[in-house]
Amino acid sequence: MVTLTINGKLVQAEEGEMLLAVIERQNIDIPSTCNHKAVEPYGACRLCTVEITHPKWPGWKKHVTSCLYPVEEGLVVSTHAPEVIELRKTLLDLMLARSPKAKLVQDMAAEYGVTRTSYEEVPDGNDCILCGLCVRVCDQMGFHAISAVGRGHGKEIAPPLDEPPPDCVGCLACAQICPTNFIKYTDAGNKRTIWGKEFELIACERTGQPTITKEFAEYLSKHRDIPEEYFKRNDLTHRRELAATMGKISQWQREEEE
Amino acid sequence: MTIQNLQQLKDLQKKVTTEKKKFHKKVIVCCGTGCLANGAKAILDEFKSVLSKKKIRNFAVEAVTETGCHGFCEQGPLVAIEPEGTFYTKVKPKDVADIIEESIRGDKVIERLLYTNPATTEKTESYRNIPFFSHQQRIALRNVGNIAAHDIKEYIAVGGYQALYKALTKMTPDEIIEEITKSGLRGRGGGGFPAGRKWRTCADVESDVRYVICNADEGDPGAFMDRSIMEGDPHGVLEGMMIAAFAVGAHMGYIYVREEYPLAVRNIKAAIEQCEEFGLMGDDILGTGFSFHIRIARGAGAFVCGESSALMKSVAGEIGEPRAKYVRSVVKGLYDKPTVLNNVETFINVPLIIGKGSKWFAAIGTPKSTGTKVFSLVGKVRNTGLIEVPMGTTVREIIYDIGGGILDDRPFKAVQTGGPSGGCLPESKLDLPVDFDSLTEAGSMMGSGGMIVMDDKTCMVDVAKYFLSFLVDESCGKCVPCREGLYQLHKLVVKVSEGRGEEGDLEKMEKLSKSIVMGSLCGLGTSGPNPLLSTIRYFRDEYLEHIRDKKCRAGVCRELITYRVNEKCTGCLACISACAYHAITGKKKEVHVIDQDKCTKCGACVAVCKQDAIDVF
């Protein structure tokens, strides 16, 4: 166990834990867009920057992104130091110039008193804040279907060569993790379209409702040891079957008791 | 052949030097990239073809050496004749026959090919007396321009690989690290981190595998120090890396070099192959049991890949994006293993330190910045090129003694050091000693050694604009402050340069810069606002002039300047035909007039006017 001070309060943390997790456990609200428990920390948005000092080194002060900074014994953390607040304001101001319509950015900025960007709006701006969550979750799933393309201000998230990505299985992890709902997909009947690629959805044998894509089912049965049969029923059917089984079990138990 | 011990190494050295002594003269044809672009290859071929037909006593084609860059690219193609040091500039293939006849067979000097000092119009025979060379101290560049890069025997002839032998057989890894630490060698890539301390940390981390990487991803505009070293002395770099590898216990090394440096890649590749052939690299080096392999990793030219963590990702085949270095790469670097990453110029100093001792090295330069530094001196200076001076040499000495002063005797305005992450120093800093700490204190930095000299025709707002636009493109785009912040900073500078600046813009830029410095993930972002901040610091008036008076005193920012014909005009019509927009009217022998509505301020008229009759204000 490690003991550190956060905003004047002594706090315990596990060795190797990142500062942000400990801060969030204290119910201290600091903004962050690129951090998610499903993926490794990345440190792109810099919003979770905090100020750290240490009694052992008087005069030493550093600003670090808490999502990436491992806890240290005796560390003194200030999550709302004036310089840090100033930085967050500037960052949100900059993000607002790029993604003025993204609700997440609007809300976070408003909390820091920024309602309109003080910078020139980016002409080709959109809701993508380049947090990289989609790419990382796709990598984590094992597909590596999309990636960051280009660099600098022209960077964007895209499949290879802007063509329907051959490695995509239509699992929707990217769309679901996207904090600004920028990644769009359509489900129509038994067809799903994402990143310009079309998928056929497996229909539930019982209800006819779509479950997951054929490609995703194949992948899961191959790599995660789940029988392909499993995906021929949707969640509701699975639950019903489970309930029916449970009912049967309790029926037997009752019969045995009698 | 495989070299097994020092005796064999020395025997080979002796054999090669004796072979060379057969010739009474040695001809050096500079085949650095600059001279090659100017046609050095044709000169080399001409030497070969003339000498194949002609017999000269005590001389043969083998005495013509194709070397790396001499640094004086502006005067190229260069040919030097040793031992006299006769130095011919701007040589053409048709001069070769004369050179052979007059200066090789005979002992005469060809007057027309000599270097003319632009200040005194005097001609100099030996390069040793040319100020550009005589004020230099070449340590890192010791072999560049002296030996043939593609031949390992030439390197061995000048004592090459003896330091490696000494390190492997007479020293322990700890002693090597101690020696490097005592020499005070600091990283030449920009940061100036003590190399000895880096090696110590790496050696102390517990790990089964360690790596040594040579950073040859030189990306600063106008810089070609590392390029010249790799092209001209690849074995020196390899020897330095091998010593480092032995010291930290690494068995695998990488050289991360830009694909844009084809000659460097070729020479390094050839050097590695030759080393392996001679038993100087690979398994059981020099019979000592130590194994080390080097692979070349070629970069696609992203500036950010010069940053250590981005570079390591790129070597590993991932996207070159930096990561947070709360755990340093020397502890957890390439493939998460402890990694020593040093720059080309750092490694090339290593064999000398081991060979001649740390005391010798530490005596050069200043106490805190020891040794020498290679700079690429460019811009509005008479002699441009690659130079090497001891640390602590003043900016004035570099620009005026070596560089020969400002072009056309215009007034000096500023010198930009450290590349896009560096800053501009004004006239008041001319006597600043050039070392790591002094430059950082003055708001600039050493960087990898770019030095761009500017005269009064250079607009400082424009300079800041240029470097910011470079960084906006080269930012990897991962973190918000660098990607969005530098973009907006560039927009603000453009606004000022176009005369749309308002009161408060300077303060806004300074505030934004502070956030970028504080918030960015890697060195590219944290040093990104430097060009802007240093120009604001030293040339605030010029910014205010752009904002308040809508004036650009250097006559650069198009939106703020006007071209006008003055009374010196003789009515020669030259500018009229030069103007692509038909903005100039006038008759022969009458003063011409520029139509301001049509004028695009391209400067074509000024370029053709011989009477200095067009004012820009």
Domains of chain B by residue range: 13-134, 152-362, 372-455, 460-549, 562-616
CB contact under 8 A, A153 and B475: yes
Residues sharing a CB contact under 8 Å with residue B316, sequence separation 6 or more, in sequence order: B334, B335
pLDDT confidence of residue B66: 92
Q: CB distance from B193 to chain A under 8 Å? A: no
Of A63, A148, A154, which is closest to B319 when you measure between CB atoms?
A148
Q: CB distance from A128 to chain B under 8 Å? A: no
DSSP letters for B407-472: GGGPPEEEEEESGGGSEEEEGGGTT-B-SHHHHHHTT---TT-EEEEEETT--HHHHHHHHHHHHH
Q: Is the pLDDT of residue B421 over 90?
A: no
In the beta sheet, which residues pair with residue A12?
Answer: A3
> Starting from the edge strand earliest in sequence, which strands make up the sheet with B64-67, in order?
B64-67, B26-30, B79-82, B86-88
Fold of the domain built from segment(s) B152-362: Rossmann fold (3.40.50)
CB contact under 8 A, B326 and A148: no
DSSP-derived 3-state class of residue A221: helix
Q: Which residue of B has its CA nearest to A70?
A: B326
Q: Which residue of A has its CA nearest to B515?
A: A87
CB contact under 8 A, A65 and B520: no
CB contact under 8 A, B326 and A69: yes
CA dist B43 and B394 (Å) reads 37
Predicted confidence pLDDT, tens digits, chain A (258 residues): 999 999 999 999 999 999 999 999 999 999 999 999 999 999 999 999 999 999 999 999 999 999 999 999 999 999 999 999 999 999 999 999 999 999 999 999 999 999 999 999 999 889 999 999 999 999 999 999 999 999 888 899 999 999 999 999 999 999 999 999 999 999 998 899 999 999 999 988 888 888 899 999 999 988 888 888 888 888 888 888 899 999 999 999 988 887
Q: CB distance from A120 to chain B under 8 Å? A: yes
User: Residues B4-42, buried b or exposed e (16+ Cβ, 10 A)?
Assistant: eebebbeebbeebeeeeeebebbbbbbbbbbbbebebbe
Distance of CA B66 to the CA centre of its chain: 21
Please name each of the domains of chain A with its CATH number: 2-111 (3.10.20.740), 133-240 (no CATH)
Predicted complex ipTM: 0.91
- The answer to whether the beta carbons of residues B347 and B240 sit under 8 Å apart is yes
Q: In whole angstroms, how large is the CA radius of gyration of chain B? A: 26
Tell me which chain B residues have a C-beta less than 8 angstroms from the C-beta of A63: 518-519
Give the whole-number percent of chain B exceeding pLDDT 70: 100
pLDDT confidence of residue A76: 96
CB contact under 8 A, B475 and A151: yes
Question: pLDDT tens, B331-386?
Answer: 999 999 999 999 999 999 999 999 999 999 999 999 999 999 999 999 999 999 99
CB contact under 8 A, A44 and B324: no
CB contact under 8 A, A44 and B475: no
Give the CA distances from residue A258 to residues A90, A129, A247, A251, A252, in Å, rounded to whole numbers and listed in that order: 73, 64, 17, 11, 10
Q: Which residue of B has its CA nearest to A71?
A: B326
Q: CB distance from A126 to chain B under 8 Å? A: no
pLDDT confidence of residue B61: 86
Statement: B562-616 belongs to CATH 3.30.70.20? yes
CATH architecture of residue range(s) B372-455: Roll (3.10)
CB contact under 8 A, A94 and B481: yes
CATH architecture of residue range(s) B460-549: Up-down Bundle (1.20)
Determine the residue type at B489.
Answer: L
Question: pLDDT tens, B566-580?
Answer: 989 998 999 999 999
Question: pLDDT tens, B149-179?
Answer: 989 999 999 999 999 999 999 999 999 999 9
pLDDT confidence of residue A101: 94
Q: Are both B152-362 and B562-616 of the same fold?
A: no
Chosen for mutation from B471, B480, B510, B520 (greatest number of chain A CBs closer than 10 Å) is: B480
Tell me which chain B residues have a C-beta less than 8 angstroms from the C-beta of A153: 472-473, 475, 477, 483-484, 487
CB contact under 8 A, A68 and B321: no
CB contact under 8 A, A91 and B319: no
Chosen for mutation from B304, B307, B483 (greatest number of chain A CBs closer than 10 Å) is: B483
Fold of the domain built from segment(s) B13-134: Glutaredoxin (3.40.30)
Task: Write out the H or E segment, with its range, that includes residue B372.
Answer: strand B372-379
Question: How many Cβ atoms are within 10 Å of B617's Cβ, its own excluded?
Answer: 11
Q: CB distance from B526 to chain A under 8 Å? A: no
Q: Are strands B593-594 and B614-616 parallel, antiparallel or unpaired?
A: unpaired
CB contact under 8 A, B485 and A90: yes
- pTM here is 0.90
User: Residues B331-355, buried b or exposed e (16+ Cβ, 10 A)?
Assistant: bbbbeebbbbbbbbbbbbbbbbbbb
